[in-house]
């Protein structure tokens, strides 16, 4: 699998400001993160991936925490892992072409891997909740 390299097809921070009815870029991105965390729809993931050149994963998480009272990395990871299961048509409905859809999916995969690595390094890895313990 290729490593994620941000594309240029997402909105620039100034465009984010315009789209968010005058909100500052951080406020607009925080709202995008809240939508991703709470819903995880194609348009939510595409919006956050669109600003990924200007914001790193940890900064996006920080903005998500500021805008989401019950922000959880586990919930965010679940939403990001689901991106591979979202139909291409859902991404196309929000204006993404085939190349952009691939970039969005690579972005989500890279973010999940980053979270998993950080959690493992910090000793906070959840190995697999679906697998029962050994008797």
User: What pLDDT does residue 128 have?
Assistant: 58
With respect to residue 95, please indicate whether it lies within any of the assigned structural domains.
Answer: yes
With respect to residue 135, please indicate whether it lies within any of the assigned structural domains.
Answer: no
Taking residues 45-74, what's their average pLDDT?
Answer: 95
User: What pLDDT does residue 33 have?
Assistant: 97
User: What pLDDT does residue 93 have?
Assistant: 97
With respect to residue 73, please indicate whether it lies within any of the assigned structural domains.
Answer: yes
CA distance 76 to 111: 10
With respect to residue 2, please indicate whether it lies within any of the assigned structural domains.
Answer: no
DSSP H or E stretch at residue 115: helix 98-121
User: What pLDDT does residue 4 have?
Assistant: 47
Residue 27 burial (CB count, 10 A): 16
Encode pLDDT of 9-53 as tens digits.
444 444 443 444 445 699 999 999 999 999 999 999 999 999 999
Encode pLDDT of 74-107 as tens digits.
999 999 999 999 999 999 999 999 999 999 999 9
C-alpha 95: how far from its chain's center?
Answer: 17
Report the domain count for the chain: 1
Domain containing residue 32? 13-121
With respect to residue 111, please indicate whether it lies within any of the assigned structural domains.
Answer: yes
User: What pLDDT does residue 130 have?
Assistant: 62
- DSSP line for 16-82: HHHHTTT--HHHHHHHHHHHHHHT--HHHHHHHHHTTTTS-HHHHHHHHHHH-TT--HHHHHHHHHH
With respect to residue 4, please indicate whether it lies within any of the assigned structural domains.
Answer: no
User: What pLDDT does residue 131 have?
Assistant: 60
Angle at 42 between CA 51 and CA 1, to 5 degrees: 75
User: What pLDDT does residue 133 have?
Assistant: 62
With respect to residue 25, please indicate whether it lies within any of the assigned structural domains.
Answer: yes
Burial environment of residue 102 by CB neighbours within 10 A (0 to 12, 13 to 18, 19 or more): middle
Query: pTM surpassing 0.85?
Result: no
With respect to residue 1, please indicate whether it lies within any of the assigned structural domains.
Answer: no
Residue 129 has pLDDT above 80, yes or no: no
């Amino acid at each position: 699998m290729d490593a994620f390299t941000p594309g240029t097809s997402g909105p620039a921070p100034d465009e984010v400001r315009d789209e968010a009815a005058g909100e500052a870029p951080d406020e607009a991105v925080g709202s995008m993160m809240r939508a991703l965390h709470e819903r995880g729809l194609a348009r939510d993931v595409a919006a956050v991936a669109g600003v990924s050149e200007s914001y790193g994963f940890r900064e996006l998480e920080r903005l998500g925490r500021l805008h989401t009272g019950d922000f959880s990395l586990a919930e965010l990871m679940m939403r990001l892992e689901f991106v591979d299961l979202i139909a291409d048509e859902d991404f196309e409905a929000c204006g993404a072409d085939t190349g952009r859809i691939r970039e969005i999916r690579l972005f989500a995969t890279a973010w999940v891997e980053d979270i998993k690595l950080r959690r493992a390094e910090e000793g906070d890895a959840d190995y697999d909740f679906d697998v029962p313990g050994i008797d």
